[in-house]
Structure 1
Amino acid sequence: MTHPIDSTEFASLLCSRLCHDLLSPVGALNNGLELMADETDPDMRQRCLDLLADSARTSANKLKFFRLAFGSAGGFGDAVPTHEARVAIEGMFAQTGRVKVGWMVGDDMLNKLAVKVLLNLSLIAGDALVRGGQLDVGAEKRPGVTEIVVRAEGPKLVLDPELRAALAGALPPEGLASRTAAAWMVRSLVTGRGGEIVLSAPGEPMLLFGASIPG
């Protein structure tokens, strides 16, 4: 069972998480610009341009992902094209070459809540693949319910115990931090609709998340 938390405090935790994730690529952009200002060698300038392009692409991919995962992307409608979710996940993980994304979502549209849950569970599972691996994402709409399954498998899986506790509803409000805010949000969104979250036990060879969302 989830517990109440001040909305302003919770929003600040999410903002801290987003700023933390964007700091690296934006910082790389700044470093690249500083190098360009002092560099005259053509080869080195090209390397700086490559660095800037990579950092700009990474920043854009993260912003697209966060817009769907935490914002109000999709306008004022109730549904979001699943293609947008797929592009966001692949931009976040697959383009690095370390994580291969398997997409098993047959529906063209999912409601906004389901998309947020799918993206955030994918983010948590993908981050657990510290040495890369396979990230499989599935969703299916059935009468009265949307089922979401996210599976991560790789040579080394590391899921922060506090993230696990937040997803399981076992983390008290005073234990919340920026790194656990997204997991807390997922739990709250799903249980608030009368749904449930399930996750594989610690020590399993693969990480498995499931969400069942009525409606």
Structure 2
Amino acid sequence: MTSSTDLAALLCSRLCHDMLSPVGALNNGLELLADERDPAMRENVMELLEQSARTSADKLKFFRLAFGAAGGFGDMVDSHEPKALIDALAAANKRLEVNWALSDARLPKPAVKVLLNFAQIAMDALIRGGTLDIGAEMRTDGDHGNTEIVVRAVGPKIAFDETIGKALDGTLAPGELSSRTAAAHMIALLAEDSGGGLQYRLTPDSLVLGAVLPAPEGLIG
């Protein structure tokens, strides 16, 4: 059984791994700027610094809501928030096209966390680029309701670690939990705690991730 402390440590490791590249680029750019005197080269270095700073900020904003408590948000999150976060990360990959189908102006925070992590898994899988389709919809039936989420990645080559699939469907062995699988394990626990579930389907050129999450009490209506 993995403790919450172990899971938090692994999520921090994943965050640090993803932040290493843009922060390293910032450091390299500052070192170049200190030694460079050519105006044209200094301008190029400044562009590098601006890009790296923007990428770092985008990643931190993404992980704050995907992994963290995100205390600045209420129980319901404006749908524009996850869309803006994912679009910002996807913009760095010119071979990636993102299509959206969000039916509601606001989504429960747990659903937003699942959506963000699904999108991250799908983007990581599209190593040669492709299309990312993201949809979410809240459905109600009297006093009950749920949020349905679907993220589909389609491309010429799908790179999907089977241990991530095990983490999503709850069959991950304790020894297989790592910084690579921690995010998938986290949202699987989140879905289980809420009475919902996750699923995925993999083919050579597509990956479909799906979730059904019951809406928290008090958010229906």
Q: TM-score, normalised by structure 2?
A: 0.92
TM-superposed deviation, 1:101: 1.0
Distance in structure 1 (CA, Å) of the matches to 2:70 and 2:133: 23
> Hey, what does 1:206 align to over in structure 2?
206
How far the C-alpha of 1:67 sits from its partner, in A, is: 1.0
Deviations 1:41-78 (A, max 9, x none): 11111111111011111101101111110112262621
C-alpha displacement of 1:197? 1.0
Alpha-carbon shift at residue 89 of structure 1 (Å): 0.3
Matched, 1:44 2:41: yes
Alignment of 1:1-215 (within 5 A): 4-73=1-70, 75=72, 77-143=74-140, 144-201=145-202, 203-215=203-215
Q: CA deviation at 1:156?
A: 1.3
Between the aligned partners of 2:98 and 2:56, the Cα distance in structure 1 is 20
Contact 1:94 1:101 (8 Å CA) reproduced? no
Could you tell me whether the CA contact under 8 Å between 2:86 and 2:119 is conserved in 1? yes
What is the SS of the residue equivalent to 1:90?
A: helix
User: What SS class does the counterpart of residue 212 from structure 2 fall into?
Assistant: strand
Give the secondary structure class of the aligned counterpart of 1:150. Answer: strand
- The RMSD of aligned alpha carbons is 1.2
One-letter code aligned to 1:64: K
Deviations 1:141-167 (A, max 9, x none): 001111000000111110011111111
What amino acid is aligned across from residue 184 of structure 2 in structure 1?
Answer: A
| Number of residue equivalences | 211
Q: Report the alpha carbon displacement of residue 98 of structure 1 after superposing the two structures with TM.
A: 2.4
Contact 2:158 2:204 in 1 (8 A): no
For residues 167 and 103 of structure 2, the distance between their equivalents in structure 1, rounded to whole angstroms, comes to: 29
Gaps of 5+ in 2: 216-221
Question: How many angstroms apart in 2 are the aligned matches of 1:60 and 1:99?
Answer: 20
CA deviations over 1:109-153 (Å, ceiling 9, x no partner): 001100000000110011100011111110000011110000001
Identity %: 57
CA contact (8 A) 1:74 1:80 kept: no
User: Is the Cα–Cα contact under 8 Å of residues 152 and 208 in structure 1 kept in the other structure?
Assistant: yes
**Alpha-carbon distance, 1:81 to partner:** 0.6
1:36–1:48 Cα contact (<8 Å) kept = yes
What one-letter code is carried by the residue in structure 1 that aligns with 2:2?
I
Structure 1's 123 and 209: CA in aligned 2 closer, same or farther, altered over 3 A? Answer: same
Q: Tell me, in whole angstroms, the C-alpha distance in 1 between the residues paired with 2:197 and 2:106.
A: 21
Helix, strand or coil at the partner of 2:205: coil
With normalisation by structure 1, the TM-score equals 0.94
